[in-house]
Structure 1
Amino acid sequence: MGALMLAEGGTFQPPGADSFVLPPIFGGVTKPMVLVVLSAIIVGAYFVIATRNLKLVPSKGQFVAEFFYEFSRNRIAREQIGAKDFKPFVPLIFTLFTFVLVNNLFGLIPVVQFPTMSRIGFPLALAAVVYLVFHGAGFARHGFFGYFKHIMFPPGVPKPIYVLLAPIEFLQKFLFQPAALAVRVFAAMFAGHLMLLVFILGGEFLLLEASALMKPVSVVGFLFAIAITFIEALIQVLQAYIFALLAANFIGAALSEGH
Protein backbone atom coordinates (compact mmCIF):
# COMPACT_ATOMS: atom_id res chain seq x y z
CA MET A 1 0.00 0.00 0.00
CA GLY A 2 3.02 2.23 0.11
CA ALA A 3 5.63 3.14 2.69
CA LEU A 4 5.56 6.19 4.88
CA MET A 5 7.60 8.96 3.28
CA LEU A 6 9.34 11.32 5.69
CA ALA A 7 11.24 14.42 4.71
CA GLU A 8 14.26 15.66 6.63
CA GLY A 9 13.40 16.62 10.16
CA GLY A 10 10.69 14.00 10.48
CA THR A 11 7.93 16.04 8.84
CA PHE A 12 5.05 14.16 7.29
CA GLN A 13 4.92 14.11 3.51
CA PRO A 14 1.44 13.08 2.40
CA PRO A 15 1.00 10.43 -0.31
CA GLY A 16 0.26 11.50 -3.86
CA ALA A 17 -0.01 10.14 -7.37
CA ASP A 18 3.44 8.55 -7.05
CA SER A 19 1.97 6.18 -4.45
CA PHE A 20 0.16 4.45 -7.31
CA VAL A 21 3.34 3.87 -9.30
CA LEU A 22 4.44 0.40 -8.23
CA PRO A 23 7.77 -1.17 -9.18
CA PRO A 24 7.73 -4.29 -11.39
CA ILE A 25 7.43 -7.61 -9.60
CA PHE A 26 9.54 -9.32 -12.25
CA GLY A 27 10.54 -8.21 -15.71
CA GLY A 28 8.00 -5.65 -16.86
CA VAL A 29 5.13 -7.24 -14.92
CA THR A 30 3.61 -5.03 -12.23
CA LYS A 31 1.24 -5.75 -9.36
CA PRO A 32 -1.83 -4.27 -11.14
CA MET A 33 -1.17 -6.53 -14.15
CA VAL A 34 -1.07 -9.57 -11.90
CA LEU A 35 -4.26 -8.47 -10.15
CA VAL A 36 -6.15 -8.06 -13.43
CA VAL A 37 -5.25 -11.60 -14.47
CA LEU A 38 -6.04 -12.88 -10.98
CA SER A 39 -9.45 -11.20 -11.02
CA ALA A 40 -10.35 -12.91 -14.31
CA ILE A 41 -9.32 -16.26 -12.83
CA ILE A 42 -11.29 -15.60 -9.63
CA VAL A 43 -14.48 -14.62 -11.48
CA GLY A 44 -14.26 -17.48 -13.97
CA ALA A 45 -13.35 -20.15 -11.41
CA TYR A 46 -16.00 -19.07 -8.92
CA PHE A 47 -18.90 -19.20 -11.35
CA VAL A 48 -17.74 -22.46 -12.89
CA ILE A 49 -17.45 -24.13 -9.48
CA ALA A 50 -20.64 -22.56 -8.08
CA THR A 51 -22.76 -23.71 -11.04
CA ARG A 52 -21.11 -27.09 -11.61
CA ASN A 53 -23.84 -29.01 -9.77
CA LEU A 54 -26.96 -26.90 -9.97
CA LYS A 55 -29.69 -27.77 -7.49
CA LEU A 56 -33.32 -26.77 -7.12
CA VAL A 57 -32.53 -25.62 -3.59
CA PRO A 58 -29.30 -23.73 -4.21
CA SER A 59 -26.26 -23.84 -1.99
CA LYS A 60 -24.85 -20.53 -0.73
CA GLY A 61 -22.31 -20.46 -3.55
CA GLN A 62 -24.94 -21.18 -6.19
CA PHE A 63 -27.27 -18.59 -4.67
CA VAL A 64 -24.62 -15.86 -4.89
CA ALA A 65 -23.77 -16.83 -8.47
CA GLU A 66 -27.43 -16.80 -9.48
CA PHE A 67 -27.98 -13.46 -7.74
CA PHE A 68 -25.16 -11.77 -9.67
CA TYR A 69 -26.32 -13.27 -12.96
CA GLU A 70 -29.98 -12.37 -12.38
CA PHE A 71 -29.06 -8.86 -11.29
CA SER A 72 -26.84 -8.30 -14.35
CA ARG A 73 -29.40 -9.85 -16.69
CA ASN A 74 -32.68 -8.39 -15.48
CA ARG A 75 -31.79 -5.31 -13.44
CA ILE A 76 -29.14 -3.94 -15.76
CA ALA A 77 -29.18 -5.43 -19.27
CA ARG A 78 -32.93 -5.97 -19.65
CA GLU A 79 -33.96 -2.62 -18.18
CA GLN A 80 -31.41 -0.55 -20.09
CA ILE A 81 -31.30 -2.33 -23.45
CA GLY A 82 -34.90 -3.52 -23.63
CA ALA A 83 -36.65 -6.89 -23.52
CA LYS A 84 -36.39 -7.29 -27.29
CA ASP A 85 -32.62 -6.88 -27.70
CA PHE A 86 -30.91 -7.48 -24.36
CA LYS A 87 -30.10 -11.21 -24.46
CA PRO A 88 -27.00 -11.14 -26.74
CA PHE A 89 -25.42 -8.53 -24.45
CA VAL A 90 -26.01 -10.24 -21.10
CA PRO A 91 -22.59 -11.99 -21.06
CA LEU A 92 -20.82 -8.66 -21.62
CA ILE A 93 -22.78 -6.79 -18.93
CA PHE A 94 -22.41 -9.66 -16.47
CA THR A 95 -18.66 -9.85 -17.11
CA LEU A 96 -18.16 -6.10 -16.80
CA PHE A 97 -20.05 -5.92 -13.52
CA THR A 98 -18.29 -8.83 -11.83
CA PHE A 99 -14.85 -8.04 -13.26
CA VAL A 100 -14.89 -4.38 -12.22
CA LEU A 101 -16.34 -5.31 -8.83
CA VAL A 102 -13.55 -7.77 -8.01
CA ASN A 103 -10.85 -5.36 -9.18
CA ASN A 104 -12.35 -2.57 -7.09
CA LEU A 105 -12.60 -4.75 -3.99
CA PHE A 106 -8.91 -5.60 -4.25
CA GLY A 107 -8.41 -2.21 -2.61
CA LEU A 108 -9.82 -3.55 0.67
CA ILE A 109 -8.21 -6.99 0.76
CA PRO A 110 -5.26 -7.17 3.19
CA VAL A 111 -1.84 -7.57 1.58
CA VAL A 112 -3.28 -6.83 -1.88
CA GLN A 113 -4.75 -3.43 -0.93
CA PHE A 114 -4.72 -1.93 -4.41
CA PRO A 115 -7.84 -1.18 -6.50
CA THR A 116 -6.77 -2.09 -10.03
CA MET A 117 -9.15 0.41 -11.59
CA SER A 118 -7.15 3.23 -10.00
CA ARG A 119 -4.75 2.77 -12.93
CA ILE A 120 -6.39 4.60 -15.83
CA GLY A 121 -5.22 2.12 -18.46
CA PHE A 122 -7.54 -0.63 -17.24
CA PRO A 123 -10.78 1.41 -17.24
CA LEU A 124 -9.80 2.78 -20.66
CA ALA A 125 -9.40 -0.74 -22.01
CA LEU A 126 -12.84 -1.75 -20.72
CA ALA A 127 -14.37 1.47 -22.07
CA ALA A 128 -12.81 0.69 -25.46
CA VAL A 129 -14.57 -2.70 -25.48
CA VAL A 130 -17.89 -1.04 -24.65
CA TYR A 131 -17.20 1.61 -27.31
CA LEU A 132 -16.74 -1.00 -30.03
CA VAL A 133 -19.77 -3.00 -28.92
CA PHE A 134 -22.33 -0.22 -28.71
CA HIS A 135 -21.23 1.51 -31.92
CA GLY A 136 -20.98 -1.85 -33.68
CA ALA A 137 -24.50 -2.68 -32.54
CA GLY A 138 -25.72 0.71 -33.73
CA PHE A 139 -24.17 0.36 -37.17
CA ALA A 140 -25.55 -3.17 -37.49
CA ARG A 141 -29.06 -2.02 -36.53
CA HIS A 142 -29.33 1.24 -38.47
CA GLY A 143 -26.71 0.95 -41.20
CA PHE A 144 -23.67 3.20 -41.59
CA PHE A 145 -25.35 6.46 -42.58
CA GLY A 146 -28.53 5.60 -40.70
CA TYR A 147 -26.61 5.32 -37.44
CA PHE A 148 -25.05 8.76 -37.84
CA LYS A 149 -28.51 10.14 -38.59
CA HIS A 150 -29.85 8.31 -35.53
CA ILE A 151 -27.35 9.84 -33.11
CA MET A 152 -26.84 13.27 -34.67
CA PHE A 153 -30.32 14.24 -35.86
CA PRO A 154 -32.95 13.29 -33.25
CA PRO A 155 -36.53 13.75 -34.48
CA GLY A 156 -38.70 16.63 -33.35
CA VAL A 157 -35.93 19.24 -33.28
CA PRO A 158 -36.20 22.40 -35.41
CA LYS A 159 -33.81 22.08 -38.36
CA PRO A 160 -31.75 25.21 -37.59
CA ILE A 161 -30.90 23.73 -34.18
CA TYR A 162 -29.18 20.79 -35.88
CA VAL A 163 -26.28 23.10 -36.75
CA LEU A 164 -25.39 23.16 -33.05
CA LEU A 165 -26.91 19.88 -31.93
CA ALA A 166 -25.39 17.52 -34.52
CA PRO A 167 -21.70 18.12 -33.66
CA ILE A 168 -22.49 18.08 -29.94
CA GLU A 169 -24.25 14.73 -30.26
CA PHE A 170 -21.41 13.36 -32.38
CA LEU A 171 -18.77 14.35 -29.83
CA GLN A 172 -20.88 13.08 -26.97
CA LYS A 173 -21.39 9.62 -28.47
CA PHE A 174 -17.94 9.15 -29.99
CA LEU A 175 -15.74 10.87 -27.41
CA PHE A 176 -17.29 12.18 -24.19
CA GLN A 177 -19.43 9.19 -23.19
CA PRO A 178 -16.70 6.52 -23.46
CA ALA A 179 -14.13 8.83 -21.85
CA ALA A 180 -16.48 9.59 -18.95
CA LEU A 181 -17.18 5.86 -18.54
CA ALA A 182 -13.49 5.20 -17.91
CA VAL A 183 -12.71 8.33 -15.90
CA ARG A 184 -15.66 7.87 -13.54
CA VAL A 185 -14.51 4.55 -12.06
CA PHE A 186 -10.83 5.54 -12.24
CA ALA A 187 -11.36 8.80 -10.33
CA ALA A 188 -13.49 7.13 -7.65
CA MET A 189 -10.94 4.36 -7.02
CA PHE A 190 -7.97 6.73 -7.16
CA ALA A 191 -9.48 9.29 -4.78
CA GLY A 192 -10.80 6.71 -2.33
CA HIS A 193 -7.50 4.85 -2.08
CA LEU A 194 -5.59 8.12 -1.74
CA MET A 195 -7.79 9.16 1.18
CA LEU A 196 -7.15 5.83 2.88
CA LEU A 197 -3.41 6.31 2.44
CA VAL A 198 -3.55 9.79 3.94
CA PHE A 199 -5.24 8.69 7.15
CA ILE A 200 -3.37 5.40 7.54
CA LEU A 201 0.06 6.90 6.89
CA GLY A 202 -0.82 10.00 8.89
CA GLY A 203 -1.86 7.87 11.84
CA GLU A 204 1.32 5.81 11.49
CA PHE A 205 3.44 8.96 11.42
CA LEU A 206 1.78 10.37 14.54
CA LEU A 207 2.16 7.05 16.35
CA LEU A 208 5.83 6.52 15.49
CA GLU A 209 7.31 9.97 14.95
CA ALA A 210 5.24 12.54 16.84
CA SER A 211 5.83 13.71 20.37
CA ALA A 212 4.27 11.81 23.27
CA LEU A 213 1.57 14.47 23.54
CA MET A 214 0.50 13.97 19.91
CA LYS A 215 0.69 10.18 19.76
CA PRO A 216 -2.90 9.66 21.02
CA VAL A 217 -4.11 11.70 18.03
CA SER A 218 -2.99 8.82 15.83
CA VAL A 219 -6.09 6.96 17.02
CA VAL A 220 -8.23 9.58 15.24
CA GLY A 221 -6.37 8.92 11.99
CA PHE A 222 -6.90 5.18 12.28
CA LEU A 223 -10.59 5.62 13.17
CA PHE A 224 -11.09 7.82 10.10
CA ALA A 225 -9.32 5.17 8.01
CA ILE A 226 -11.74 2.51 9.28
CA ALA A 227 -14.75 4.71 8.55
CA ILE A 228 -13.48 5.52 5.06
CA THR A 229 -12.91 1.82 4.43
CA PHE A 230 -16.63 1.10 4.89
CA ILE A 231 -17.56 4.06 2.69
CA GLU A 232 -15.03 2.96 0.10
CA ALA A 233 -16.52 -0.56 0.05
CA LEU A 234 -19.92 0.92 -0.79
CA ILE A 235 -18.43 3.14 -3.50
CA GLN A 236 -16.56 0.23 -5.02
CA VAL A 237 -19.76 -1.77 -5.41
CA LEU A 238 -21.66 1.25 -6.74
CA GLN A 239 -18.96 2.06 -9.29
CA ALA A 240 -19.02 -1.49 -10.65
CA TYR A 241 -22.80 -1.24 -10.94
CA ILE A 242 -22.64 2.19 -12.59
CA PHE A 243 -20.03 1.03 -15.09
CA ALA A 244 -22.18 -1.91 -16.19
CA LEU A 245 -25.34 0.22 -16.11
CA LEU A 246 -23.87 2.92 -18.36
CA ALA A 247 -22.47 0.31 -20.74
CA ALA A 248 -25.93 -1.22 -21.08
CA ASN A 249 -27.48 2.23 -21.44
CA PHE A 250 -25.13 3.11 -24.30
CA ILE A 251 -25.99 -0.14 -26.07
CA GLY A 252 -29.69 0.44 -25.56
CA ALA A 253 -29.44 3.99 -26.93
CA ALA A 254 -27.55 2.76 -30.00
CA LEU A 255 -30.19 0.12 -30.73
CA SER A 256 -33.27 2.20 -30.01
CA GLU A 257 -35.54 3.29 -32.83
CA GLY A 258 -35.90 6.78 -31.38
CA HIS A 259 -32.98 8.92 -30.20
Structure 2
Amino acid sequence: MTGETLQVEQLSRYQLVQTPARLELHDTHDPKVGAVYVDFVEGKAQYRRKFGGGKGQDIAKAIGLHKFKHPHVIDATAGLGRESFVLATLGCTVTLLERSPVVHALLADGLKRALASDDQETLEIASRMTLYPADAHVWLTELPAVAWPDVIYLDPMFPDRQKSALVQKEMRFFHEVVGADPDSDGLLALAQERAKRRVVVKRPRHAPELHGCKPAFVISGKTVRYDVYLGKATAQEHAHQE
Protein backbone atom coordinates (compact mmCIF):
# COMPACT_ATOMS: atom_id res chain seq x y z
CA MET A 1 0.00 0.00 0.00
CA THR A 2 3.02 2.27 -0.03
CA GLY A 3 1.98 5.69 -1.33
CA GLU A 4 -1.65 4.66 -1.56
CA THR A 5 -4.06 7.32 -0.33
CA LEU A 6 -7.47 6.96 1.15
CA GLN A 7 -9.96 9.80 1.24
CA VAL A 8 -10.88 10.73 4.78
CA GLU A 9 -14.57 11.06 5.58
CA GLN A 10 -15.27 12.88 2.30
CA LEU A 11 -12.74 15.57 3.17
CA SER A 12 -10.31 15.25 0.28
CA ARG A 13 -8.07 17.84 1.89
CA TYR A 14 -6.89 15.27 4.44
CA GLN A 15 -5.59 11.91 3.25
CA LEU A 16 -4.31 8.85 5.03
CA VAL A 17 -1.05 7.76 3.44
CA GLN A 18 0.70 4.46 4.13
CA THR A 19 4.41 5.25 3.92
CA PRO A 20 7.13 2.59 4.23
CA ALA A 21 7.53 3.60 7.89
CA ARG A 22 3.99 4.21 9.16
CA LEU A 23 0.45 5.43 8.50
CA GLU A 24 0.29 9.22 8.23
CA LEU A 25 -2.41 11.85 7.79
CA HIS A 26 -1.47 14.50 5.22
CA ASP A 27 -2.96 17.95 4.65
CA THR A 28 -2.94 18.18 0.85
CA HIS A 29 -3.77 21.90 0.92
CA ASP A 30 -0.84 22.76 3.17
CA PRO A 31 1.81 20.02 2.88
CA LYS A 32 4.45 22.14 4.63
CA VAL A 33 2.80 21.59 8.02
CA GLY A 34 3.94 17.96 8.00
CA ALA A 35 2.14 14.74 8.72
CA VAL A 36 0.10 13.69 11.74
CA TYR A 37 0.89 10.20 12.99
CA VAL A 38 1.17 8.12 16.17
CA ASP A 39 4.59 7.01 17.36
CA PHE A 40 5.08 5.26 20.70
CA VAL A 41 8.52 3.89 19.76
CA GLU A 42 10.54 7.07 19.37
CA GLY A 43 10.26 10.82 19.80
CA LYS A 44 8.22 12.57 22.46
CA ALA A 45 6.54 9.44 23.82
CA GLN A 46 9.86 7.84 24.67
CA TYR A 47 11.34 11.09 25.97
CA ARG A 48 8.41 11.52 28.34
CA ARG A 49 8.71 7.88 29.41
CA LYS A 50 12.33 8.39 30.41
CA PHE A 51 12.32 11.97 31.65
CA GLY A 52 8.67 12.92 32.25
CA GLY A 53 8.67 12.63 36.02
CA GLY A 54 7.14 9.19 36.52
CA LYS A 55 4.47 9.03 39.22
CA GLY A 56 5.24 12.62 40.14
CA GLN A 57 3.42 13.82 37.04
CA ASP A 58 0.12 15.63 37.53
CA ILE A 59 -1.78 13.02 35.54
CA ALA A 60 -0.44 10.27 37.80
CA LYS A 61 -1.61 12.18 40.88
CA ALA A 62 -5.02 12.74 39.31
CA ILE A 63 -5.45 9.08 38.40
CA GLY A 64 -4.47 8.16 41.98
CA LEU A 65 -1.40 6.04 41.38
CA HIS A 66 -0.20 6.80 44.93
CA LYS A 67 -3.32 4.97 46.16
CA PHE A 68 -4.26 2.40 43.53
CA LYS A 69 -1.78 -0.19 42.27
CA HIS A 70 -2.00 -1.03 38.56
CA PRO A 71 -5.52 0.34 38.03
CA HIS A 72 -7.61 -0.36 34.96
CA VAL A 73 -8.19 2.95 33.17
CA ILE A 74 -10.58 3.56 30.28
CA ASP A 75 -9.36 6.44 28.12
CA ALA A 76 -12.76 7.28 26.69
CA THR A 77 -11.48 9.97 24.31
CA ALA A 78 -8.19 8.44 23.26
CA GLY A 79 -7.17 10.89 20.52
CA LEU A 80 -3.57 10.24 19.53
CA GLY A 81 -3.01 8.10 22.61
CA ARG A 82 -0.35 10.16 24.37
CA GLU A 83 -1.93 10.05 27.83
CA SER A 84 -2.79 6.38 27.40
CA PHE A 85 0.86 5.61 26.72
CA VAL A 86 1.93 7.61 29.77
CA LEU A 87 -0.54 5.73 31.96
CA ALA A 88 0.54 2.36 30.56
CA THR A 89 4.15 3.38 31.21
CA LEU A 90 3.21 3.95 34.85
CA GLY A 91 1.76 0.45 35.16
CA CYS A 92 -1.92 1.01 34.33
CA THR A 93 -3.91 -1.33 32.14
CA VAL A 94 -5.49 1.00 29.60
CA THR A 95 -8.52 0.53 27.37
CA LEU A 96 -8.54 3.12 24.58
CA LEU A 97 -11.85 4.10 22.98
CA GLU A 98 -11.82 6.14 19.77
CA ARG A 99 -14.91 6.74 17.65
CA SER A 100 -13.26 8.55 14.72
CA PRO A 101 -12.29 5.97 12.07
CA VAL A 102 -9.39 8.19 11.00
CA VAL A 103 -7.92 8.61 14.47
CA HIS A 104 -8.51 4.94 15.23
CA ALA A 105 -6.54 3.97 12.12
CA LEU A 106 -3.59 6.15 13.20
CA LEU A 107 -3.72 4.76 16.74
CA ALA A 108 -3.94 1.15 15.56
CA ASP A 109 -0.90 1.68 13.35
CA GLY A 110 1.11 3.25 16.18
CA LEU A 111 0.17 0.49 18.58
CA LYS A 112 1.02 -2.21 16.05
CA ARG A 113 4.50 -0.76 15.57
CA ALA A 114 5.03 -0.50 19.32
CA LEU A 115 4.06 -4.16 19.75
CA ALA A 116 6.62 -5.04 17.09
CA SER A 117 9.36 -2.98 18.75
CA ASP A 118 12.76 -4.47 19.55
CA ASP A 119 12.72 -2.53 22.81
CA GLN A 120 11.38 -4.88 25.47
CA GLU A 121 10.11 -2.11 27.74
CA THR A 122 8.16 -0.43 24.92
CA LEU A 123 6.70 -3.82 24.01
CA GLU A 124 5.58 -4.41 27.61
CA ILE A 125 4.02 -0.95 27.84
CA ALA A 126 2.13 -1.41 24.57
CA SER A 127 0.87 -4.81 25.74
CA ARG A 128 -1.01 -3.02 28.53
CA MET A 129 -2.93 -0.96 25.94
CA THR A 130 -6.04 -2.27 24.16
CA LEU A 131 -7.73 -0.20 21.46
CA TYR A 132 -11.36 -0.38 20.34
CA PRO A 133 -13.16 1.56 17.57
CA ALA A 134 -16.02 2.64 19.79
CA ASP A 135 -18.19 5.55 20.83
CA ALA A 136 -17.62 5.95 24.57
CA HIS A 137 -21.31 6.61 25.25
CA VAL A 138 -22.34 3.32 23.68
CA TRP A 139 -19.40 1.39 25.12
CA LEU A 140 -19.88 2.57 28.71
CA THR A 141 -23.66 2.18 28.54
CA GLU A 142 -23.33 -1.47 27.48
CA LEU A 143 -20.37 -2.28 29.76
CA PRO A 144 -21.34 -4.96 32.33
CA ALA A 145 -20.71 -4.08 35.97
CA VAL A 146 -18.04 -6.76 36.30
CA ALA A 147 -15.95 -4.88 33.72
CA TRP A 148 -16.31 -1.39 35.15
CA PRO A 149 -12.87 0.23 35.38
CA ASP A 150 -11.16 1.82 38.35
CA VAL A 151 -10.77 5.13 36.52
CA ILE A 152 -12.28 6.76 33.43
CA TYR A 153 -10.17 9.45 31.78
CA LEU A 154 -11.74 12.16 29.60
CA ASP A 155 -9.98 14.72 27.43
CA PRO A 156 -12.82 16.33 25.44
CA MET A 157 -12.15 18.67 22.55
CA PHE A 158 -11.48 22.25 23.55
CA PRO A 159 -9.93 25.14 21.59
CA ASP A 160 -6.19 25.23 22.29
CA ARG A 161 -4.55 28.63 22.43
CA GLN A 162 -0.97 27.42 22.18
CA LYS A 163 0.83 28.74 19.12
CA SER A 164 3.34 26.06 18.26
CA ALA A 165 3.19 24.67 14.72
CA LEU A 166 2.71 21.14 16.02
CA VAL A 167 -0.25 22.03 18.19
CA GLN A 168 -1.84 24.09 15.44
CA LYS A 169 -1.39 21.27 12.95
CA GLU A 170 -2.95 18.62 15.17
CA MET A 171 -5.69 20.87 16.52
CA ARG A 172 -6.64 21.88 12.99
CA PHE A 173 -6.91 18.23 12.07
CA PHE A 174 -9.06 17.41 15.10
CA HIS A 175 -11.38 20.36 14.63
CA GLU A 176 -11.84 19.93 10.86
CA VAL A 177 -11.83 16.14 10.53
CA VAL A 178 -12.95 14.85 13.92
CA GLY A 179 -15.14 17.75 14.99
CA ALA A 180 -16.13 18.98 18.44
CA ASP A 181 -17.39 16.95 21.41
CA PRO A 182 -20.88 18.40 21.98
CA ASP A 183 -21.87 15.32 23.98
CA SER A 184 -18.99 15.51 26.48
CA ASP A 185 -21.24 16.80 29.28
CA GLY A 186 -23.39 13.68 29.11
CA LEU A 187 -20.29 11.52 28.97
CA LEU A 188 -19.13 12.89 32.33
CA ALA A 189 -22.36 11.82 34.04
CA LEU A 190 -22.16 8.36 32.49
CA ALA A 191 -18.50 8.01 33.44
CA GLN A 192 -19.34 8.82 37.06
CA GLU A 193 -21.82 5.95 37.00
CA ARG A 194 -19.31 3.48 35.59
CA ALA A 195 -15.98 4.36 37.24
CA LYS A 196 -15.35 2.53 40.50
CA ARG A 197 -12.75 4.96 41.83
CA ARG A 198 -12.39 8.17 39.85
CA VAL A 199 -13.26 10.13 36.75
CA VAL A 200 -10.45 12.42 35.60
CA VAL A 201 -11.17 15.25 33.15
CA LYS A 202 -8.31 17.11 31.47
CA ARG A 203 -9.05 20.79 30.87
CA PRO A 204 -7.15 23.91 29.81
CA ARG A 205 -6.19 25.62 33.07
CA HIS A 206 -8.71 28.46 32.85
CA ALA A 207 -11.51 26.59 31.06
CA PRO A 208 -14.91 26.17 32.74
CA GLU A 209 -15.68 22.88 34.44
CA LEU A 210 -17.30 20.27 32.25
CA HIS A 211 -21.10 20.55 32.49
CA GLY A 212 -20.56 23.04 35.32
CA CYS A 213 -19.93 20.12 37.68
CA LYS A 214 -17.64 20.92 40.60
CA PRO A 215 -14.93 18.24 40.99
CA ALA A 216 -13.92 16.66 44.29
CA PHE A 217 -10.48 18.18 43.81
CA VAL A 218 -8.21 19.61 41.13
CA ILE A 219 -4.60 18.96 40.13
CA SER A 220 -3.45 22.08 38.30
CA GLY A 221 -0.35 22.71 36.20
CA LYS A 222 0.88 25.68 34.18
CA THR A 223 -1.33 25.19 31.14
CA VAL A 224 -3.72 22.33 31.95
CA ARG A 225 -5.52 21.00 34.98
CA TYR A 226 -7.12 17.70 35.93
CA ASP A 227 -10.59 17.82 37.49
CA VAL A 228 -11.10 14.72 39.61
CA TYR A 229 -14.55 13.33 40.38
CA LEU A 230 -15.14 10.40 42.71
CA GLY A 231 -16.51 7.20 41.29
CA LYS A 232 -19.26 5.20 42.94
CA ALA A 233 -17.08 2.95 45.10
CA THR A 234 -14.93 5.78 46.41
CA ALA A 235 -17.94 8.02 47.05
CA GLN A 236 -19.61 5.22 49.03
CA GLU A 237 -16.41 4.69 51.04
CA HIS A 238 -16.36 8.40 51.91
CA ALA A 239 -20.03 8.30 52.89
CA HIS A 240 -19.46 5.34 55.24
CA GLN A 241 -16.47 7.08 56.81
CA GLU A 242 -18.63 10.09 57.56
Query: If the length of structure 1 is used for normalisation, what is the TM-score?
Result: 0.29
Tell me which protein shows more strand as a share of its residues: 2
Higher RCO (C-alpha under 8 Å, 6+ residues apart): 1
Structure 2 length-normalised TM: 0.31
Greater Rg, structure 1 or structure 2? 1
